[in-house]
Amino acid sequence: MKSIQRFGGAMFTPVLLFSFAGIMLAISILFCNPSVFGSLASEGTLWYGIWDTVQQGAWTVFNQIELLFVVGLPIGLAKKASGRAAMEALVTYLTWNYFIAAILTHWGKFFGIMHYGRALAENSTNEGLKMIAGIKTFNTSIIGALIIAGIVVYLHNRFFDYKLPDFLGTFQGSAFVVILGFFAALPLAFITCLIWPKISFGIGSLQSFMAHAGPVGVWIYCFLERVLIPTGLHHFIYIPFQYGPAAVPEGLTKWWLMHLETFANSKESLKSMAPQMGFLMYGNEKVFGIPGIALAFYFTAKKENRKKVLALLVPAVITSVLAGITEPIEFTFLFVAPLLWVIHSLLAATLDTTLYLFGVVGDLSGGIIDMAGKNWIPLFQNHWATYLTQIVVGLIFTAIYFFVFRFFILKFNFATPGREADEEEEITLKTKQDYKNKKLAQGVQETAAASYTDPYSERAAIYLDALGGKENISDVTNCATRLRVTVVDPKKVKPDSAFKAGKAAGVVRAGRAFQVIVGLDVPQVREKFEELLKQ
């Protein structure tokens, strides 16, 4: 489970790049639409040329999605020299695809690829092939990228430091890993040619099923996407749909943007044109559900604590509603009231399914900025009624969230923000100077204490101490908001209150695997954390 969680978190590394690219694509597609801008946006005009240029640049991360996952996974999973691991994975992935291309060139008919030479050419069959980095190969999407990257990470972690005889010293390090990857890629390419056509057929069947799964499929999918967040396994739910081939060959986000102009110019309902987009609805709970939860927290807090609670909740709600990052507020109640997390997941799935039943679909996986860029602005002219429905239903669920959460908080007396015992609150009010004095009293070297010149270093030092010191750290990585650490001895890890002194929202504990809920600045904290490990 620890390995699966780390793998899932590492998958998120390239996902961070897609939001901005998607918004820029939606804007540039809108500005190239003659039905909105008239003759100004006609092909051949300066206006069209400028925005088409912007659009082509914005397609970069979507057109090269396989390469991004190949490079991104080692960054998250390599235990050392992650930059070199990313290079090794890229070289091995390209080698694997060149092997596939050569095998299909010579023996394509044996593997059932009848028109390899003409595939992808105009007026020819595709046969499940794609051009990747200039190589005509199987369209394995992110599946192939993740498999190859996973193999290379394993080879890198095991053999990067392997000492060869002196006369072979030039082949050590990255060269040795690439050599091993070369010999692993050849038989794997043969196996891929043998089994991928069958896997591709299975994926096609899955796509057909998911596209026609209806409200039940949407509810199950959205429930799993939300309820699995604490485990980190939710990445395995949404990434294959949003960026992989689970619902459509190119991933739902790219497919939506590719057809955005068609949707914008049509008055037909979005649901009838894109029923599979019901699987990208989970941004609605970020925009409408989280404010309801925050209101429940505020009105159930002790009156003397409401100002503190408001200061805690306002930035968290703004982050969720605008950017779609929910963990800063969700993890304030996950650990003290797991039942509320289940209720949140049930309400989220019900909200998404209700909207789907009312005809609301689209790339609605992020916050308001993402929704506006990819949906509301480019499609408003012909689909404003759909988005009015979304807002009305969403606000109704904001009220439902408020009353349901308020009821359960009061009924079970959950220690949500502002309702904690006095001794807990006293712990969270410790100052930075208190912490520094404590560290110095414990004999921390003066040079280390002097290095805490920014909030990231300070928090990293607090987390390192709470995790039992650098001798207790096996490896470290991160996802969007969590610092993921594997420790040597979990008994040395301190209680959650020690982490809260560094502004952590909480800690997920699973054996030797720990997830510290840091927030959106987790990449900076991780960098300082790793610097402390090297001291």
Quickly state the pLDDT bin for 9 (edges 50, 70, 90): low
Q: How open is the CA angle 227-210-269, to the nearest 5 degrees? A: 100
> Is 514:507 a contact under the CB 8 Å cutoff?
yes
Residue 82: φ, ψ to 5°: -65, -30
- The predicted pLDDT at position 388 comes to 97
Element holding 508 (H helix, E strand): strand 507-510
φ/ψ region of 337 (left if φ > 0, alpha if ψ in -120 to 50, else beta) reads beta
Least confident of 219-233, 325-339, 454-468: 325-339
- Residues 210-251 have pLDDT tens digits of 667 789 989 988 998 898 887 767 877 888 888 888 788 888
φ/ψ region of 136 (left if φ > 0, alpha if ψ in -120 to 50, else beta) reads beta
- The predicted pLDDT at position 3 comes to 65
- The predicted pLDDT at position 449 comes to 39
- The predicted pLDDT at position 436 comes to 45
Q: Is the pLDDT of residue 119 over 50?
A: yes
> Is 18:238 a contact under the CB 8 Å cutoff?
no
> Is 347:404 a contact under the CB 8 Å cutoff?
yes
Handedness of CA 322, 328, 330, 332 (dihedral sign): negative
| CA 446 to each of CA 462, 463, 466: distance values in angstroms, whole numbers, following the listed order | 16, 19, 19
Residue type present at position 360: V
Rounded to 10 degrees, the C-alpha dihedral 122/128/130/136 comes to: -90
Number of H helices, E strands in the chain: 27, 6
Burial of residue 431 (CB within 10 Å: 0-12, 13-18, 19+) is exposed
List domains and CATH numbers for the chain: 2-212 (no CATH), 252-420 (no CATH), 427-534 (3.30.1360.60)
Q: Is 479 a catalytic residue?
A: yes
Q: Is the pLDDT of residue 385 over 80?
A: yes
- The predicted pLDDT at position 446 comes to 39
- The predicted pLDDT at position 448 comes to 41
Please provide the average confidence, as pLDDT, over all residues in the chain: 85
Please enumerate in sequence order all residues whose Cβ is within 8 A of that of 182, keeping only pairs 6 or more positions apart, or say none: 92, 95
Mean pLDDT, residues 65-90 taken together: 90
- The predicted pLDDT at position 207 comes to 67
Residue type present at position 245: P
Q: Is the pLDDT of residue 429 over 70?
A: no
Q: Is the pLDDT of residue 191 over 60?
A: yes
Annotated catalytic residue within 32, 193, 222, 479: 479
Residue with the bigger pLDDT between 314 and 393: it is 393
- The predicted pLDDT at position 433 comes to 42
CA distance 244 to 238: 9
Least confident of 262-266, 378-382, 525-529: 525-529
Mean pLDDT, residues 97-103 taken together: 96
CA distance 50 to 31: 10
- 44-48, 121-125, 327-331: which is most confident: 44-48
Q: Is the pLDDT of residue 1 over 60?
A: no
- The predicted pLDDT at position 427 comes to 29
- The predicted pLDDT at position 480 comes to 67
Q: Is the pLDDT of residue 73 over 60?
A: yes
- Residues 192-210 have pLDDT tens digits of 999 998 888 887 776 677 6
| CA 188 to each of CA 64, 103, 151, 504: distance values in angstroms, whole numbers, following the listed order | 22, 12, 11, 43
